[in-house]
Structure 1
Amino acid sequence: MHGSAARDRVANLLTPVLADAAVDLEAVELIPAGRRTVVRLVVDADGGVGLDQLADLSRTVGKVLDAHDVMGERSYTLEVTSRGVDRPLTAPRHWRRNTGRLVKVVHFDGSQLTGRVEAADDTGAHLATDGRTHRVEYADVAKARVEVEFSRSTAGGSDDGTDADGEG
């Protein structure tokens, strides 16, 4: 069992199972590893996915895969993970889940825009940049990623647990 047909069978089997757990299946990766296959499922949800939830999902998904024998005779290792902040924004839900975050957008015409997501809907997002709001239509976006911010200040200190002079 290899290739896109195998990925599609796994995705078709697991998408409703994960949806019941209020989680979206973002990707299925089947990676040959000797006589085994690594089955990596990338999931996401509104508000993110915590470690305890990933563990629960892994147990549930493992039972479903075993019960449906979707991997055939081939032994497999299951990994259920969520993508980090560096994943590309490719669906409206990705934009919505990153409201308030800084994103870099590259348009199909080559122009670029970096701004903070203020709002997102099914066709585009509003980015705040340079004191103005810009509408970005998803159809015009070649690539978009969340920008990692290490020193975004908040009231009372920084996000990294250190005070203003860098000491914790």
Structure 2
Amino acid sequence: MEEIVEKLRPVVVDILEGFGLELFDMSFTKQRGKWTLKIVIDDPNGYVSIRQCEQVSNEVGKYLDLHEDLIPTSYILEVSSPGLDRPLRGPKDYKRFAGRLAKFWLSEGKVVTGHIGELSEDELKVNTDQGEVVLKLSQIKKARLEVEF
């Protein structure tokens, strides 16, 4: 069913651009016996609101209603945000969320948690409880924001 996602991706991106939003992720999978079209949206200027999710859901729903042959089975449309503990996807996100608490999983198995600091071309400074740690971008396997209380 990956072809459904690939056909819909440009349409969804176009709808999102109309709202000043970006596509974070999109999938069409079977969950608990039901097909779900999941669209995860992002707001480059801040956090995604419930209202924004609702607007996107309405617009995508209208498009799918007009093109009902695109998805040949019944499905659930789900529009959401990446969440407070969102994955970070490289330098663009490190820059955007500078100063925020994040967790980094490194290729050698080490995990570093700290506040995102200065970003250079190939390194990221992270301010941990033990002091500043410099990470090579190439050694960051995955990263996500942490909820700070």
TM-score (norm 1): 0.71
2:42 aligned to which of 41, 44, 49 = 44
The one-character-per-residue Cα deviations of 1:6-42 (angstroms, maximum 9, x if unpaired) are 2222223212221232211111121336886321101
Q: Which runs of 5+ in 1 are unaligned?
A: 151-168
Assess if the C-alpha contact under 8 Å between 2:84 and 2:145 holds in 1: yes
User: What is the aligned partner in structure 2 of residue 19 from structure 1?
Assistant: 17
Deviation at 1:44, TM superposition (A): 1.0
Distance in 2, matches of 1:136 and 1:45, equals: 27
**Structure 2 unaligned runs (5+)?**
none
- Displaced runs of 4+ in structure 1, greater than 6 A? none
Matches of 2:18 and 2:7, distance apart in 1: 18
Q: Alignment partner for residue 7 of structure 1, among 5, 28, 32?
A: 5
SS of the equivalent of 1:75 reads coil
Tell me by how many angstroms 1:140 deviates.
Answer: 1.6
CA distance in 2, matches of 1:127, 1:121: 12
1:123/1:64 CA distance change after superposition, 3 Å? farther
What does the per-residue CA deviation read over 1:88-126, in whole Å, with 9 as the maximum and x for residues that have no partner?
A: 222334323422211121211223322101345775533
Cα RMSD (Å):
2.8
Larger Rg: 1
2:144 matches 1:149: no
Between 1 and 2, higher relative CO (CA 8 Å, sep ≥ 6) is seen in 2
- 1:71 and 1:122 map into 2 onto residues whose CA distance is 42
**Overall identity of the aligned pairs, in %:** 29
Q: Which protein has the bigger helix share?
A: 2
Partners in 1 of 2:92 and 2:142 — Cα distance? 15
1:103–1:145 Cα contact (<8 Å) kept: yes
The offset of 1:133, in angstroms, is 4.0
The total of aligned residue pairs comes to: 148
Normalized against structure 2, the TM-score is what?
0.79
